[in-house]
Chain A
């Protein structure tokens, strides 16, 4: 399709240099349409506008997946038991956050395609260097308790999370980015975030990607389970801890009214009973299904699997400051033993993507795909061991958690590294014992010479780049200290421009391949199973589940 420069010029008018640079990238073919839409949404360009630019640049109309189903259904969902009292400030588990997200909403939503979509905020914009982000709020949004959602509520909700005195689970996201008091009301419908340092991906930190960041009334004083207040398309009908929750349509919702009359969540402590309940027709949806547990459903024509590409992964860390893995050559040798194609196809039944020993998953538009993929190469691994003076091999312990497919993954690694003379003893622990107090010196996770840790999905790699890999990172289980890396990570996080992000990403990817403090073998998909005939269900890889368009045949 040809490019329509006249329309493009019209659309460019009044855009910032940063936005125009992005549009140029699309026209010149330096970035793909998907990258363009995603990064454009991050910079606060509206989706219809991005669509018009895409059309004018000769890409045709964006495919529309929306298909209206029949209203009035009762949708029954199986999900894991909320691990603690549901409270936006402290919540940390999938079972709890999916319940909270039914009633409470975010400023913007990180969709399944990692494109930010406006929710309670209509639009957002950075200043020139990305240190101040201004959000314009939607007007006429009502809390279930009656009041209108305004800037004061946003300021209070975010400040509450940024306050170190509040047991906030979002503190690990906001530390070094946003401090209490730096979320400022401009007027009733405009809020400014004054950041500690430039941040090109900040909108993700106040999107559904930061699952604590729901907007609730400024007057909130704790005990969320008493009110379940929010602005969402559903209102709470009943919540019974450990048992389940039900919701009904909110007829005062600001957007399209929800299709289902009711939704019913049933809590399960284990995945197997959920699968049996879906097979027995007692639930319609399993919110999150690990691939190994769900093998029976993957090829069953009676069920549909929604498979979301995600950045969730298992990090295999190796201490860079002690033992044989102190030598980067040994770490590279171990990484070269993994048969990643086999991991993806066999262990993960094709529901995962190759990892290349950095947090840059294929789903991220900023990932530099020209960096060569690391493949199994035993000969080279043996050579590296020899040059490190360890040709005869050595013994070490791999400590990890009993969770998902990790024990099986550990066994595969144990077999693979045997080929280069490394004898791994597996120490597989209960999750509580593995994480311990989660501080250095009191945690098997952070203190083990070698370990495997599960990391949940994030819409942008910022968190993965900082806490587990930066020299002072609080989750730096590899004890990796590298000044060049720290600088690169900081400049990646600060970059506003997609091409600048990509250039830095490439450098980080190469540096991490060379150093290999952490092996990223694969990035696993987020699976949701539904009974046939259930449509309009929209999960996110953060374990949220949007049900306002759900219907049953």
Chain B
């Protein structure tokens, strides 16, 4: 699909590398040496064959094997996603829970409205504002997310705080809202009333009965956001000069660098699949009904 889609776009690899003002003979020579002047099926066949043998191919643009680029970028993306994740998931859920427990009181309004307002701001807006505040004026945090070579865990973490903040802002409202509505529904349910009437302490009711049920839809939402957090951060990666897989795919697509593009997209596909699998698994842990259903 990607392969065919890319062929329809105007321009070719040689032209993308040499620029519009290069001599056509030079472009033809380069296309020939890269092998992109061969029939489409032959190119596709070669690529699939090599891929199945564990060879992701050689980048047209960088003239180097694709695998290290993709692996590095994926690693970087996962680090950033993880930091954002660790920040936003507990705080988002906590926010939702607090909001639900204070339903229609000022605290609920602040969390719901505030969360939604920052969610609708695009990340390049919040990103620039955050850079200006923390990077340019206060100079507390580094502007570029690329840490020095050989940096330890805490240094890397320090460099990742600023870029993960806009992601936090984008996702917080979303997750908090899901958690809040799940909580409200669960608080309103018969089993909660029963649990309360049974005389269980409030804390136990919330922890064992309400939260467990309330979080199910939230987990689905979080799982669907994982793909975005790993592959969809082109803007954040550009703004913070971060070598993630989103911008890798973006530049590959622009330069018609198919080996890179294919490998990148396939990798993200795998990440999506894994994230969904993990979500399903968590779902079954929290919801015994699904587990039992599977055993029957």
Enumerate chain A interface residues (CB-CB to B < 8 A). Answer: 81, 83-85, 87, 90, 92-93, 164-169, 171-172, 175, 223, 225, 241-244, 266-270, 272-273, 276-277, 279-282, 432-433, 435-439, 442-443, 445, 467, 474-475
Contacts and interface: CB of A to CB of B under 8 A. Distances in A.
Contacts of A81: 251
A269 B9 contact: no
A443 B10 CA distance: 9
B142 interface: yes
Contact of A164 (B14, B16, B29): B29
Interface string B232-266: 00000011110100010001001100000000000
Interface string B53-78: 00000000111100001000000000
A84 B256 CA distance: 12
Contact of B25 (A93, A171, A241, A270): A171
A167 B63 contact: no
A346 B289 CA distance: 69
A85 B128 contact: no
A276 B143 contact: yes
B24 A474 contact: yes
A442 B15 CA distance: 12
Contact of A432 (B9, B21, B33, B136): B9
14 contacts: A83-B17, A84-B62, A85-B64, A92-B17, A92-B18, A92-B21, A167-B18, A175-B23, A242-B243, A273-B239, A273-B241, A280-B136, A432-B16, A474-B24
A279 B132 CA distance: 9
Given A166-B29, A243-B146, A433 B10 contact: yes
Main secondary structure, interface of A, reads: loop
Nearest to B12: A437
B139 interface: yes
Contact of A169 (B22, B62, B247): B22
Given A242-B251, A243-B146, A436-B11, 12 more contacts: A83-B255, A84-B255, A85-B62, A87-B63, A90-B17, A167-B27, A225-B63, A266-B146, A266-B241, A282-B144, A432-B254, A438-B27
Nearest to A89: B26
A280 B139 contact: yes
Contact of A266 (B61, B136, B144): B144
A254 B264 CA distance: 45
Interface in B1-60: 9-12, 14-27, 29-30, 33
A242 B76 CA distance: 14
A438 B131 CA distance: 39
A331 B144 CA distance: 48
B194 to A, nearest CB: 56
Contact of B26 (A171, A279, A443): A171
B238 A279 contact: no
A276 B61 contact: no
Contacts of A269: 238, 241, 247, 251
Nearest to A274: B241
Contacts of A242: 69, 243, 251
A221 to B, nearest CB: 13
B18 A85 contact: no
Nearest to A436: B10
A164 B62 contact: no
Interface centre among B19, B128, B131, B238, by most chain A C-beta atoms within 10 angstroms, is B19
A192 B14 CA distance: 32
Interface string B87-113: 000000000000000000000000000
A84 B136 contact: no
A175 B135 CA distance: 50
A437 B61 contact: no
Contacts of B131: 276, 280
Contact of A439 (B17, B24, B241): B24
Given A243-B243, A273-B239, A435-B15, A169 B26 contact: yes
A322 B33 CA distance: 39
Contacts of B20: 435, 438, 443, 445
Contacts of B17: 83-84, 90, 92
A103 B129 CA distance: 38
A282 B241 CA distance: 12
A59 to B, nearest CB: 39
Contacts of A169: 18-19, 22, 26
B243 A474 contact: no
A159 to B, nearest CB: 15
Interface in B116-157: 128, 131-132, 135-136, 139, 142-144, 146
B136 A279 contact: yes
Interface centre among B26, B63, B69, by most chain A C-beta atoms within 10 angstroms, is B26
Contacts of A90: 17-18, 26, 30
Contacts of A442: 10
Q: Which 8 A-B pairs have the closest CB atoms?
A: A167-B30, A171-B23, A435-B20, A92-B19, A85-B63, A164-B25, A438-B20, A167-B29
Contacts of B243: 242-243
A445 B26 CA distance: 19
A173 B31 CA distance: 20
A164 B239 contact: no
Contacts of A467: 21
Nearest to A268: B241
A432 B62 contact: no
B11 A281 contact: no
Contacts of A281: 139
B238 A270 contact: yes
Nearest to B22: A169
Given A269-B251, A276-B136, A276-B143, A437 B11 contact: yes
Contacts of B10: 432-433, 436-437, 442
A299 B97 CA distance: 50
Contacts of B255: 83-84
Contact of A280 (B9, B61, B62, B143): B143
B26 A166 contact: yes
Nearest to A438: B20
Nearest to A241: B62
Nearest to A81: B251
Contacts of A273: 143-144, 238-241
B198 to A, nearest CB: 58
Contact of A92 (B11, B22, B69): B22
A276 B21 contact: no
B129 to A, nearest CB: 11
A168 B33 CA distance: 12
Contacts of A166: 26, 29
Nearest to B59: A85
A83 B142 CA distance: 26
A366 to B, nearest CB: 23
A165 B29 contact: yes
